[in-house]
Amino acid sequence: MDHVFVIVIIFLLLNICMGLIRLWRGPSVADRLLATQLFGTAGMAVLTVMAGYSEDLTLLNVVITFNVLSIILVICMVQVRKKKKKETP
């Protein structure tokens, strides 16, 4: 059973590595932001699996912290881009 947890964690970490390609190449800032959001989600999944693996439920607090704060980057990004469009036309 333990091996399943470890395999899932490694799979999710490799997911993050794949996302790095988009982060590195992504032509626009929005692509990079979405890659970061993918990392956030995959990271939360890794943490949840780790909580199951080590049977330590306090790790879920970290997950929720990531979760409630993930919105703030997106909103910041959206607001900044909106301003840009207004300035340029």
Positions in the binding site for other proteins (CB under 8 A): 2-3, 6, 9-10, 13, 16-17, 19-20, 23-24, 29, 32-33, 35-36, 39-40, 43, 46-47, 50, 56, 58-59, 61-62, 64-66, 68-73, 75-80, 83-84, 87-88
Q: How far is the CB of 42 from other proteins (least distance, A)?
A: 9
* Phi, psi dihedral angles at 88 (to 5 degrees): -80, -35
Q: Cβ–Cβ contacts within 10 Å for residue 35, how many?
A: 20
Q: Read off the amino acid at residue 10.
A: I
Asked if 46 contacts 37 with a C-beta cutoff of 8 angstroms, the reply is no
Q: How far is the CB of 31 from other proteins (least distance, A)?
A: 9
